[in-house]
Amino acid sequence: MKRGISRVIDGITVTPLSRDEREAVCRVFAPAPGPGIADNYALISWRNRVMSKTEA
């Protein structure tokens, strides 16, 4: 599965979603205003996973 280039936002490395993942997210949030919402969702879900692990 090919992924886009990771980038660091607020000190957190964010790996963009694959095209299939992005399409799935856009379907969930349809009508999506643009491709940015999928990357935001990836960042939020990644942060939630990290937070739940550190708090546990």
The Cα 9–Cα 29 span in angstroms is: 22
HSE at residue 40, side-chain half, CA atoms within 13 A, is 8
7 Rama class: left (phi>0) / alpha (psi -120 to 50) / beta? beta
The Cα 20–Cα 1 span in angstroms is: 9
> Tokens 């280039």 label which residue?
5
Top-confidence residue, 47 or 4: 47
* C-alpha 14: how far from chain center: 7
| pTM of the complete model | 0.26
Q: What is the pLDDT of residues 13-54, one digit of tens each?
A: 666 667 777 677 666 655 545 555 566 666 666 666 666 665
pLDDT of the residue at 41 = 66
pLDDT of the residue at 1 = 45
